[in-house]
Amino acid sequence: MAKITMRQAISQALWEEMERDPKVFILGQEVGVWGGTYAVTKGFYDHFGADRVRDTPISEAAIIGSAIGAAIAGTRPVAELMTINFAFSAMDHIVNQSAKMHYMFNGQMVLPLVIRTVGGGGRQLGATHSQTPDAIFAHFPGLKVVAPGTPADAKGLLKAAIRSNDPIMFIEHATLYQIRGEVPDGDYIVPIGKSTVQRSGDHVTIVTYSKMLELSLKAAEQLAKDGIEAEIVDLRTLRPLDMEPVIESFKKTNRAVIVEEGWKSFGVGAEISAQIYEHAFDYVDAPIKRVAQKEVPLPYNRNLEQMALPQVEDIIKAVKEVL
């Protein structure tokens, strides 16, 4: 067990899986010679060579499309999309192809494909480079969507994703790369499709994932000073969604706040709250609250951007409203 950054944890998972299985290779923009735009694959090109760390042209459809083809042909590609915003240029291949092919051809084609990508706002990159559209990808049966919030989960989930035979969107958060946490050495696997309780408490359930886990934990610390103990459930995987820990926690606290970085409308919070009402209506003591991004394209100006993004104070306020 070592205390390392999220970036190191992801890098470690990739490295170990490439060492373990020669069928695993990386492709994407600037993954090789450059070492990855977020330096996740630094040193990979020199160690694994140009065949296994493949720099691509700026051709998102060709990156994902060719990764799909290579996957059904028997390899295990890890395709990197520099940011999730660019995934829209590959939407057809992600949605119409990767999510459908196993089912549509009656199981004949198997897609051990990981699409690593980076989402999230807060870095003054303007509206086109700051989105958190995770919920969109979670909409499609056939695709799995993973978004870790801690370094340990990032390592364990990425290793699980690379070993999986299903197409997986692995969404990292641009402002989490430098956070540190204890990460088990070597073969550490976190199963895909399992939510987990990151903090125990009896008064309110906070359901969240990815970057918003960090903010929710901070909010919980402050709430604890007022004697409010929040239980935090980290979804980790959006599809397949594991509601069990959420429902279990809610049956104990009877109150929930859902925190996501993306927009509220048609978002993760909408799904979670609907499922709580469906599965635990008799346990509801207060209307469920959602904390999410304001419904605007994210502006460049730092103050405006922070106004649009969910803040620790918003979570505290929402918790106090449901109590």
Partner 1 sequence: MEKSEHLDLYQQMVVIRILEGRSAELYQQGKIGGFLHLYIGQEAVSTGLISARKPQDRVITAYRDHGVAINCGISAKEVMAELLGKATGVSGGKGGSMHLADVNNNFWGGHAIVGSHLPIAAGLALGDVYQKQDGVTICMFGDGATNIGYFHEALNLSKVWKLPVLWVCENNQYGMGTTVERASAVSEIRQKADGYAMKNDNVDGMDIMKVREKALEMIEEIRSGSGPQFLEINTYRFRGHSMGDPERYRQQEEIRKWQENDPIGIYRRYLVEEKIASEEELNGEDKKANEIVEDAVHFAESSPEPAAEELFKNIYVEEGR
Which positions touch partner 1 (CB under 8 A)? 25, 51, 54, 56-57, 59, 61-62, 64-75, 92-93, 96-97, 101-110, 141-142, 144, 164-166, 192-193, 239-240
d(CA 251, CA 283): 6
Nearer to partner 1, 76 or 129 (CB): 76
Nearer to partner 1, 121 or 156 (CB): 156
Q: How far is the CB of 167 from partner 1 (least distance, A)?
A: 9
Nearer to partner 1, 35 or 69 (CB): 69
Q: Please, what's the b/e burial string for 32-67 (b: 16 or more CB within 10 A of its CB; e: otherwise)?
A: beebbebebbeebbeebeeebbbebeeebeebbbbb
CB atoms within 10 A of CB 321: 12
d(CA 278, CA 247): 10
Q: How far is the CB of 52 from partner 1 (least distance, A)?
A: 8
d(CA 259, CA 211): 10
Any idea which residues carry the catalytic annotation? 60, 129
Nearer to partner 1, 110 or 270 (CB): 110
Q: How far is the CB of 268 from partner 1 (least distance, A)?
A: 17
The answer for residues whose C-beta is within 8 angstroms of residue 1's C-beta and 6 or more apart is: 182, 183, 184, 185
Q: How far is the CB of 23 from partner 1 (least distance, A)?
A: 8
